[in-house]
Amino acid sequence: MKLSLTGLSVVAILACSLSVQAAGKDLLLLTTPDADAKLATRVQQFCSTELYSLAVQVKPLKKDADSAWPVLSKVLASTLGKDDLAAVLLSSSAVNSNTITLSSNAPVAVVNLKDPRKDGKADDELYARWIERESMRAYGLLLGVKTCPNPQCAMSDYKVKPESLSELGRNYCPYCKKCLGEQLKAKGIVIPEPKRVRKVGP
C-alpha cells in the first residue's frame, strides 16, 4: 500500500498542529518498577487523547517510592520541568490505602495500582480501565477540575465497591471537559475548537 505525498503532508501537518497546541507544556506519567509497561503506555495514550491531546510523557521514577508521603511528594515535585503541568505516579507501593493521594504543595499525585477486587487480575480489561479512570481523575484534580456528582464522570467521588467497577466511567462529562478547557486556557494552552460536521444531502 502506497501513501501519496499529499497524504504524508496531511499527517505531518496534523502532528505539528497537535504539538503546537500544547505549547511545550506536558503531563508526566511516572512509574515504579512494579508498574506494568504495557499498562503505562495504555494509560498514557488514553489520557493524552482525552485531555485535549496534551503530551503525556512516561518516565521511570529513579528514586524509591516507599518514602513517607511528605518526602515522596517532594521527590515527585522535583521531576517537574518548568513547563510541565502535573505529574502522576503509578505505584503499588503507595503511601496509604487511598486510590489517589494528592499533594497540597505541588501538582503531583500517586495512583495506587492495587486492584480493589480481592480476586482481581492485573492483566484484565476491567482493571486497566480502572487505572485509566483513576489517572484521569488524578490529572483532573491536579489541573483544577472539581469533584463531579455525575457517577459516570471520571471526576466523580465515590466509595470503591469492587462490584461497581464495570459501571464507572473513564471520561469527563461535558461540564467537566469544559472546566478542564478553561483551566488549560488559563495556563496559556490553546484548545482547538470542536469541529462542526456539515450534513450532506437532503
Domain boundaries, the chain: 24-186
Task: Determine the average pLDDT of the residues in 57-65.
Answer: 89
Q: What is the pTM of this model?
A: 0.81
| pLDDT score, position 162 | 58
| pLDDT score, position 15 | 38
Name which of 90, 93, 187 is nearest 132 in CA terms. 90
- Rg from Cα positions in the chain: 18
More reliable by pLDDT, 94 or 185: 185
Name which of 175, 178, 191, 200 is nearest 25 in CA terms. 191
Task: Give the amino acid at 18.
Answer: L
Name which of 113, 116, 123, 131 is nearest 45 in CA terms. 131
Which CATH class for the 24-186 domain? Answer: alpha beta
The residue to which cell 497546541 is assigned: 21
d(CA 147, CA 135): 14
Which CA distances in Å does 53 have to 28, 107, 191? 13, 19, 9
| pLDDT score, position 89 | 96
pLDDT tens per residue across span 4-47: 434 433 333 333 334 334 446 899 999 998 889 999 999 999 99
More reliable by pLDDT, 26 or 158: 26
| pLDDT score, position 160 | 61
